[in-house]
Structure 1
Amino acid sequence: MTGDFLFYTIIAILVLNYVKEEWISYANAKRFNDPIPKELQDVYDADAYQKSQKYKQTNYRFSTLSGVFSFVVTLMFFMLNGVAWVDEISKQLTEHSLLQSLLFFGIIGLASSILQVPFSYYHTFVIEENFGFNKSTPKIFWLDKLKGLLMSLLIGGGLLSLVVWLYQQMQNNFWWYAWLVFTLFSVVMTLFYSNLIVPLFNKQTPLEEGSLRQKLAAYAKAQGFKLSDIFVIDGSKRSTKANAYFTGFGAKKRIVLYDTLIHDLTEEEIVAVFAHEVGHYKKKHTLYNMLLSLLLTGVTLYILGLLLGNPLLADAFDVPNSSFHIGLLAFGVLYSPISEITSLLMNILSRKFEYQADDFAKETYGANPLISSLKKLSKNSLSNLTPHKWNVFFHYSHPTLLQRVLNLKKTQIS
């Protein structure tokens, strides 16, 4: 194998991945006008359906345009020796190899973020605004970007620095120690994400006393779930779209309800959504996901350790000497086909977990309120009710609305 062969392999992977994603997106768009299944006929009225069609088409055109832009920029970066250029800049700024790696990824990351800002701004303040979803302001938008950048510098830069240092000290055996670092980081984030990261962007408050809390308390007591672990997040400061999620485990478990969810649904429907989230807790889905993620991280780091230091990587990018950051960049592209497969498997597992959580809610509370809540949430977010099967297979971490409704109606409890 030569450096040229490796370089064109990287280019081929980038091109094939882009073509695959565009084909899936196109096939999905062709399904926009398919008849709505009879089980979902009550989701949209005529006006809402027309609005959802327009929203889907607008987002499809926007994602196609932004996708072409990102692909062309990425391809030009590789084809015009951008890797060697950024590598040379980092070496001119410092002779310290660890700092060179930080500068290399810092320059690429910052440039990528700057190029994506106009697309993000347009999507938020034009598309989402025109369809009545956006509640953000330019101040919140720019503060979010600034906070995200600072977090990337502190957390991402800190982790990268530690991993580079471990590689310099341990060479091929570094992956064991890097795995321990990522394991510790993942556990800390799972336990304390809602306490450390979420407050930087949103306000979380315990669910207040009232009729809703009483109903949730009755259900929580029956299921052995601590009601003090239910929080409301001010999602309405950015969007009208609603959500709920479960995070953590053990004493640090937490269910978070968006304030928009509480506004859009009846109390019975909210209890049903809550029951679904309790189902994730009872089925230990967060724990299983974390363990599988750590296993995949270990395998990835092991393969990375085998590849780092290979002089072919430097030859592929016309760089004089191999380095950690050159190896990591090449690995990120070369490993992407394997990563695609593991992502598919994780999505399949995630969809299975969602069915299990739905079944738990159905068995412990009732199917009808969960069905009606799912339909309302789909309507309020103008969701696509007829996605293409390949789009679902590759990208959906949840079953489609139709699949969930059909599952919930099987041996229906209520």
Structure 2
Amino acid sequence: MRSDTQYLLLIILIVVLDFFWTQYLAYRNRKRMSPKIPAQLEGIYDKEEYEKQQAYQKVNSRFGLYTSLFSFVILLFVLCFGVFGWLDELLRQCISSEIPLALAFFGAIYIVNDIITLPFDYYGTFVIEERFGFNKSTKKTFWLDQLKGLLLTAILGGAVLALVVWLYNTLGDYAWLYTWGAVTVFSLFMTLFYSNIIVPLFNKQTPLEEGELRDAIEAFAQKAGFAINNIYVMDASKRSTKANAYFTGLGAKKRIVLFDTLINDLDTDEIVAVLAHEIGHYKKKHTLQGMLISICYTGVILFLLSLFLGNQDIAVALGGKTASFHLGLIAFSVLFTPVSLVIGIFSSIHSRKNEYQADAYAAGFGLADSLINGLKKLSVKSLSNLNPDPLFVFFYYSHPTLLQRIEAMKK
């Protein structure tokens, strides 16, 4: 059997196994759904809320199955009929330089994928989320978000892609090292300035006004020895009723961002407890750990990618005639899936461990009850699945379940 045929069969096998594995886990999760409230959830959900939660989870699970099946069939068609190679050859008739060729190739794939998935995004927002009372986005906001996302991807994604292609085509065997450095610098820049540059394109962020909540947050920050002056409120309610808060940046650029929905849903002590959890991540150096792990992970990926880019058999396997950066990247993204799955397991385990530590940090300040109450409210408000399948949790959950977190904090 020819090498290119072996590569194609391996790629198809990985795509098929990945689809059936993810759907098996989703099936296990659906099987745990029941209209009867499990004993451990009594007191968190009442009967009406629980029935609504179960309906929401079932609808989303079925919708996820349909969208995944559709994407799976499309990808199989593209692989079996060499569409990636066909697109490469078509573009080569007009473009000879590698950088414009890669930009045009991925640009065409991105646009086609956007056109295909857009109806699903629209349905998810204006039918499913609307039906269960989450959606607050207008059609104007939805379409503006799509346009802004497209432009942002074209500008930032295009610039990064052009640089990476140039490095790999110019610097030979050690190009992956220079690419690693460039991607690391870009990632650090985005960590520091994401809230200043990207978020304002989609949401307004205003400083938290003086009053009881700000005083309570600042008092806790002082008690915890955490210097923070940048506390912002984001108008998340323009899109959804779901609440959240996050911590971003490093050093003088660190910033706490509260969704306005969070302020509406929780009382002051509960908000402080949620922020104590976020500050716990910083104090326990989870943010730094995550950054270092991400940098190392990126380096390994770029090195392995460099081994695929000049492989003629891979190009032929995808229907092409000439080895290229973009065809190598497509093949690598599929072939790396099993490795990514294994790495993802360890990443999830590490992340869940960090969440327990951040909870314990907040509890150490006497905020366990407030954090538990706040998490309960947020979970019920967002109709979260509080009784997921353990195997599904093991593979996919970056956070412990609410019940696991409550049990740990009560200990």
- TM-score, normalisation: structure 2: 0.97
1:176-212, Cα deviation, whole Å (9 max, x unpaired) = 0000011101110111111111111111111111111
Q: Is residue 376 of structure 1 aligned with residue 377 of structure 2? A: yes
2:189 alignment partner in structure 1: 188
Alignment of 1:24 onto 2:41 = no
Question: How do residues 348-367 of structure 1 correspond to structure 2 at under 5 angstroms?
Answer: 348-367=349-368
Mapping for residues 229-244 of structure 1, pairs under 5 Å:
229-244=230-245
Distance 2:386 2:43 in 1: 12
Displacement after TM superposition at 1:37 (Å): 5.0
Contact 2:348/2:397 (CA < 8 Å) preserved in 1?
A: yes
Q: Secondary structure of the residue that 1:307 maps to in structure 2?
A: coil
Q: Which residue of 1 aligns with 2:255?
A: 254
The one-letter amino acid of 1:64's match is L
Q: CA deviation at 1:19?
A: 0.3
1:94-133 to 2 correspondences below 5 Å:
94-133=95-134
Tell me which amino acid in the other structure corresponds to 2:275: F
How far apart, CA to CA, are the structure 1 residues paired with 2:170 and 2:228?
Answer: 48
Matching residue's letter, 2:274:
V
Tell me the equivalent position of 2:42: 41
- Report SS of the residue matched to 1:228: coil
In the TM superposition, residue 35 of structure 1 has moved relative to its aligned partner by 5.9
Displacement of 1:241 after TM fit? 0.3
Letter in structure 1 aligned against 2:6: F
Letter in 2 for 1:77: V
Distance in structure 1 (CA, Å) of the matches to 2:5 and 2:83: 16
The gaps in structure 2 that reach 5 residues or longer are none
Aligned residues: 410
Residue 171 (1) aligns with residue 172 (2): yes
5 Å-filtered alignment, 1:7-406, equals 7-33=8-34, 36-406=37-407
Paired-residue identity, %: 52
| Partners of 2:35 and 2:51 within 8 A in 1 | no
Task: Give TM-score, length-normalised by structure 1.
Answer: 0.97
Equivalent-residue separation in structure 2 for 1:93 and 1:40 (angstroms):
62
User: Does structure 1 retain, via aligned residues, the 8 Å contact 2:91–2:105?
Assistant: yes
Task: Please tell me the residue identity of whatever aligns with 2:323.
Answer: S
1:92 Cα deviation from its structure 2 partner = 2.1
Give the secondary-structure state (helix, strand or coil) at the position aligned to 2:232. strand
SS at match of 1:232: strand
d(CA) in 2 for partners of 1:246, 1:392: 24
Check the 8 A contact 2:228/2:254 in 1, yes or no: no
Q: Give the Å deviation of 1:237.
A: 0.6
Q: Judge conservation of contact 2:37–2:47 (CA < 8 Å) in 1.
A: no
Partner of 2:196: helix, strand, or coil?
A: helix
- Which letter does structure 1 place at the counterpart of 2:162? S
Q: Residues 300-351 of structure 1, C-alpha deviation per residue, up to 9 Å, x if partnerless?
A: 1111112220111122123111111111111111111111111221111111
RMSD: 1.2
Alignment check: 8 A CA contact 1:275 1:365 kept = no
Amino acid at match of 1:317: L
Q: Which runs of 5+ in 1 are unaligned?
A: none
CA–CA separation in structure 2 for the residues paired with 1:278 and 1:207: 17
Provide the C-alpha distance between the structure 2 equivalents of 1:253 and 1:348, rounded to a whole number of angstroms: 26
